[in-house]
Structure 1
Amino acid sequence: MKYKIEYSDNLPKEYGGYCYFPLVPVIGTCRIVIRPKYRGDIGLHEHELVHCRQYRRNFLHGLLWAISKKYRLKCEIEAYKEQLKNYGCMTIDCAKWVARALYEKYDFDITYNEALQIVKTALIPH
């Protein structure tokens, strides 16, 4: 998988990192932009790399990402799971910030309590 990581604050204010998908999934390069203050944040880097892998796995990823909130939520859950794993975060108290992010940043039309339940069931090992 080809990817390029850049460090810049030229991102929407609510994001610490962002993955820009290539126009041609099979031969294109994912461009990951991370805020400089998160340069050493391996969890965030891995979160964005998950999005690159998602794009490689599914030729229609870009289209589905644009039109399906359910698909985007599934993708974010996969990415946050990897991020939490890298942080060693295995409890709900440690992962509540993910519920806040799912509720506030992504326009998923879910409540905070629904987001918290998603984190409990999908991201925290049982």
Structure 2
Amino acid sequence: MADEEAGRRRARGELEAEVMTTLWAAHEPLTPADVQAALGGDLAYNTVQTILIRLLEKGQVRRGPAGRGRGHAYWPAQDAASAAAGRMRAALDGRPDRRAVLQQFAAGLAADDVDVLRALLEERES
């Protein structure tokens, strides 16, 4: 099983998502070495550093001096909920039938989520 996992290629964006999840969970800036350790160390340091630089270029993380020499520490540019909401809005952008997308989204919600969404929409209306 470990061999299967080691040989498995991650889906597009999966590694970036894992790095972001690690940064959100940390609640403090992390160095590439910190992120590498948190992810289990199976990734090369350079791979982690490359992912962090890509996330920086996309505006998803911020970077500053690590305070431990010449390296950098990284932290999320926004919290996890704001990032997820942004992805949801992006899924609607440019769609010719936004109503159909929203309808499909709503149809897949659990009853508890429907109640929360309904309450939030009512708050917005008032």
* Fold shared per TM-score above 0.5: no
Shorter-chain TM-score: which interval?
Answer: 0.3 to 0.5
TM-score w.r.t. the length of structure 1 is 0.34
Higher relative helix content? 2
| Larger Cα-atom Rg | 2
TM-score w.r.t. the length of structure 2 is 0.34
